């Protein structure tokens, strides 16, 4: 039997302070999210994703910042063309970032210049794969467009409407950074070994691929489709709760109040000139779900989280559900790379201790 080890252990590292950051602050009790001190709602209303990337990488607020999508190196395009058309978009993105790292060979420590180059490249790679699997040729990036509008242009071959670009830009802003979540912590652990920024982002994409981290928006789409119409929302929600079905898009590991990212996305969605039917349905489902959850579970703080409005926004700009996780990964490039830069600037190898619960010393039988 192993000797007694009375050191505290927290499954999932919940509540454990694992580092320091100046990039974002979350107050889950009141529903507050700050990037470099700026409230997320103000950044969505008054900024662009291009500006938020610079804010995270440098700490400077420049609303005129521009980050066009970057061309794909020939070797990376060869790798994308070699993938089977039924490969998962997250796998294609991870492969592309790995190949980009091999081609560019970024040095250590990570820098804002490296972060810009990688973040500008990845949307081009995902858009190219999305077209290749449809039997279409990739579209070269348009240097006049910002990153999000440029991504939509490379996906569809036509410039997006201002409304569509604005809606997706809001999604990218709220998805850009969220403290020490699983994928970001993975990126910092990898950076701490003095691995390059591409390796850190590859690892982060791998962590986000898991359905407990990056897969919820597509499941929200499925549930909204099941409801079918606003008139059915009350019946469907009550039946789902009675059957023990989890309502996707509600509840969060950190937030006990309404997720401020969901509030920002709903504001953008509701400001659309012509709300499509799917948005009206999403709003109806949310209103009913919040009321019924408060009635059935008054002891639990089950509020709307960002995935609920991420789903209708991503649907609204024409993305198919299997692209949702990889698009989330594109948005989170800003935070992953910013954390990589921050880790590299004051680095110490991340090597936590562990409580041993196995056999104590014993001997191989003679």
Residue 85 annotated among the catalytic residues of the structure: no
Q: What is the pLDDT of residue 217?
A: 65
CB 168 within 8 A of CB 127: no
Q: What percent of the chain has pLDDT over 70?
A: 94
d(CA 87, CA 94): 11
Q: What is the pLDDT of residue 316?
A: 81
Q: Is the pLDDT of residue 142 over 80?
A: yes
CB 96 within 8 A of CB 173: no
Hey, what are 109's tokens?
A: 């420590």
List 54, 286, 307, 342, catalytic entry:
307
List 54, 177, 252, 286, catalytic entry:
252
Write down all domains in the chain, each with its CATH number in brackets: 32-213+327-345 (1.10.580.10), 216-316 (1.10.230.10)
d(CA 124, CA 146): 12
Taking the mean position of all CA atoms in its chain, how far away is CA 106? 23
Mark 147-183 as b/e (b = at least 16 C-beta within 10 Å).
Answer: bbbbbbbbbbeeebeeebbbbbbbbbbbbbbbbbbbb
Least confident of 62-76, 200-214, 267-281: 267-281
Q: How far is CA 361 from CA 78, 311, 356, in A?
A: 53, 53, 12
The whole-model pTM stands at 0.91
Q: Is the pLDDT of residue 2 over 90?
A: no
CB 359 within 8 A of CB 224: no
What value does the mean pLDDT of the chain take? 90
CB 147 within 8 A of CB 123: yes
* Segment (H or E) for 28: none
Residue 225 annotated among the catalytic residues of the structure: no
């Amino acid at each position: 039997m192993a000797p007694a080890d009375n050191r505290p252990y927290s499954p999932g590292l919940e509540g454990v302070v694992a580092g320091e950051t100046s990039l974002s602050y979350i107050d889950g009790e009141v529903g507050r999210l700050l990037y470099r001190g700026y409230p997320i709602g103000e950044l969505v209303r008054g900024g662009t994703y291009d500006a938020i990337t610079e804010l995270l990488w440098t700490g400077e607020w420049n609303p005129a910042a521009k980050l066009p999508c970057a061309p794909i190196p020939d070797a990376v395009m060869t790798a994308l063309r070699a993938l089977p058309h039924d490969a998962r978009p997250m796998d294609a993105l991870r492969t592309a970032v790995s190949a980009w790292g091999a081609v560019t060979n970024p040095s250590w420590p990570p820098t804002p210049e490296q972060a810009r180059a990688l973040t500008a490249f990845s949307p081009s790679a995902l858009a190219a794969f999305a077209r290749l699997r449809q039997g279409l040729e990739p579209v070269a990036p348009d240097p006049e467009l910002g990153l999000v509008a440029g991504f939509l242009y490379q996906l569809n071959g036509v410039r997006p409407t201002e409304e569509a670009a604005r809606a997706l830009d809001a999604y990218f802003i709220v998805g850009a950074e969220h403290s020490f979540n699983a994928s970001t912590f993975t990126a910092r652990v990898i950076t701490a070994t003095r691995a390059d920024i591409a390796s850190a982002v590859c690892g982060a994409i791998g962590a986000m691929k898991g359905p407990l981290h990056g897969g919820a928006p597509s499941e929200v789409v499925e549930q909204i489709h099941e409801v079918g119409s606003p008139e059915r929302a009350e019946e469907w929600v009550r039946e789902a709760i009675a059957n023990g079905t989890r309502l996707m898009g509600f509840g969060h590991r950190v937030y006990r109040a309404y997720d401020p990212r969901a509030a920002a996305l709903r504001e953008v969605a509701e400001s659309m000139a012509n709300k499509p039917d799917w948005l009206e349905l999403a709003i109806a489902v949310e209103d009913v779900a919040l009321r019924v959850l408060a009635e059935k579970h008054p002891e639990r703080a089950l509020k709307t989280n960002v995935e609920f409005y991420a789903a209708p926004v991503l649907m609204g700009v024409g993305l198919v559900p299997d692209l949702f996780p990889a698009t989330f990964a594109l948005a989170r490039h800003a935070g992953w790379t910013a954390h990589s830069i921050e880790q590299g600037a004051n680095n110490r190898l991340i090597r936590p201790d562990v409580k041993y619960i196995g056999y104590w010393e014993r001997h191989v039988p003679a």
